[in-house]
Chains A and B, each alone.
Chain A
Amino acid sequence: MVHDLIQRLKTEYSDEGFEELYRLYADRAIRTATAVTGSAASAADVVQETFIRVYRNLGSYDLSRPFDPWFNRILYNECNRYLKKHSRMVPSEISEERDLPSETDTYDFDRHGEVYEMVQRLDDEHRIPVILKYLNDFAEKDIADMMELNVNTVKSRLFRARKKLKEWMLQKRGGNQHGT
């Protein structure tokens, strides 16, 4: 379906056709960009730029190759460009002490919101593979292709990220139990 659509667009551009392509990939792109950049407004810029690049480069797109990895890589590059441009201070290592949930927290937290925040506290090396895997159901191989990494590196980063998230969640849970 995507293949036919792109072939059509390569032959003759139409707003309708490109919108169809946009609708197919927009949800995934917007969610990914939002999680990576940390804001819906920034994500809107990233997604817009991604589709403009798709538009400009469709002429050189090789129809014999799958579209998804090509699109994902453009999206990932745009996310990276944003992160670099706005070089937010990202800790190079996962800090044990930094802003860990207090053991005496007593508020009734929203668990989903809490987990999202925890993911955002991971450093980019670990955070981005987590977002790509769990938000998009990408296989480790696909993530490795996007990030130009060895599959084993991706696996190890996901393993470390999950381990850290579990630790934080356990601490948080313990904190609530003790605090309430």
Chain B
Amino acid sequence: MGRDPLDKQLKDSLEKGTDDAMQYKDEIWTSIKERIHSEPAPQKAESEAPFTPRESKVRRRPRRRAAGWIVGTAAAAAIVFAVSFQTVPVQAFIDQVKEWFAPEKTVEQELEGMPETSVDSLHEGADYVIYIDESRFKMVHGADVDRIELKEKPTDDRYPEVFMEISQEGIDPKAAAERIQGELQDYPKVESNLVEEPVQGWEVRAVGGTGGKEWDDPVVRYYVFDNGQGGSFVVKQQYFLEASEGFGVRFRNMMEEFHITSNTNTKDDKE
């Protein structure tokens, strides 16, 4: 590892400092085994491997997290839960739901090790709402795809494009995630995982260019999750490697306050 004595000192000290924890190895395994056994039995469908994730546990909408948000949407969510049982006309109900979200939120987040505070504004799309820091981003509504892009794009064209796109597809999240993964096969690095945060669904992430060696390698990250109407929301986030701790974290945090407003989902929320 090199001739510097510090290398050995660091290795030894880190090993010694973590020695005590090794006594929990068996205990941790016992807990893992119990957790695995407590999960519903894997589906044994012919086409599916035993490890098919338990999608039955995936809720109809992304779980909300209040982390970093000073003015949370707990009140609005509570009202949604309470009123979703009532029989109000569908469109009126949806409009009402949208109104319950605060028009602005003060957001605190840590970016690249530095705390940052911004006031984000509510934006509405088809069947969803999201909060945007309008000092940095603007929302461009399209026929099928809404796009959140930089308000002021860098004049230097060395910087790869940074944006987030929100759309819906008529297929279930797993199928949509698989299709996206297939489309990204030219990227040197592609991975797909079931995630619970910032939404419950699939995260497909790919690094283009050199696959992670250069600062400007493009990174695309998709969040694919149930839209509650038999289809999926597909959120595509694009940035570049050097911006992972900046724009990458910003986009991820924005998804923490992505809310589905379609009637189907609000009803599902009560579960």
The reply to whether B213 and A151 contact each other, CB–CB distance below 8 Å, is yes
Partner of B49, one of A10, A115, A135, A148: A10
The reply to whether A148 and B10 contact each other, CB–CB distance below 8 Å, is no
Q: Which residue of B lies closest to A27 (CB)?
A: B22
- Give bound CA distance, A3 to B230, whole Å: 36
The reply to whether A11 and B49 contact each other, CB–CB distance below 8 Å, is yes
The reply to whether A149 and B244 contact each other, CB–CB distance below 8 Å, is yes
Contacts of A65 in B (CB 8 A): 191
Contacts of A15 in B (CB 8 A): 33, 36
For residue B237, give the distance in angstroms from its CB to the closest CB of chain A. Answer: 12
Contacts of B12 in A (CB 8 A): 112, 115
Whether B110 sits at the interface, judged by CB under 8 Å, is: yes
Contacts of A60 in B (CB 8 A): 53, 192-194
The reply to whether A123 and B194 contact each other, CB–CB distance below 8 Å, is no
Q: Which residue of A lies closest to B217 (CB)?
A: A150
Binds A, one of B24-32, B76-84, B164-172: B24-32
Contacts of A19 in B (CB 8 A): 29, 33
The reply to whether B113 and A123 contact each other, CB–CB distance below 8 Å, is yes
Whether B75 sits at the interface, judged by CB under 8 Å, is: no
- Give bound CA distance, A64 to B52, whole Å: 18
Whether A179 sits at the interface, judged by CB under 8 Å, is: no
The reply to whether B50 and A55 contact each other, CB–CB distance below 8 Å, is no
Whether B268 sits at the interface, judged by CB under 8 Å, is: no
Contacts of A103 in B (CB 8 A): none
Partner of A124, one of B6, B113, B241: B113
Contacts of A135 in B (CB 8 A): 11, 14-15, 18
Whether B242 sits at the interface, judged by CB under 8 Å, is: yes
Whether B179 sits at the interface, judged by CB under 8 Å, is: no
Whether B54 sits at the interface, judged by CB under 8 Å, is: yes
Instruction: Give the residues from 1 to 55 in chain B that come closer than 8 angstroms, CB to CB, to chain A.
Output: 1, 4, 6-7, 9-18, 20-22, 24-25, 27-29, 31-33, 35-36, 42, 48-54
For residue A48, give the distance in angstroms from its CB to the closest CB of chain B. Answer: 5
Contacts of A123 in B (CB 8 A): 113
- Give bound CA distance, A59 to B21, whole Å: 30
Interface residues of A (CB under 8 A from B): 9-13, 15, 18-19, 22-23, 26-27, 30-31, 33-35, 40, 43-44, 47-48, 51-53, 55-60, 62, 65, 70, 73-74, 81, 84-85, 87, 90, 92-93, 111-116, 119, 123-125, 130-131, 134-135, 137, 141, 144-145, 147-153, 162, 165-166, 169
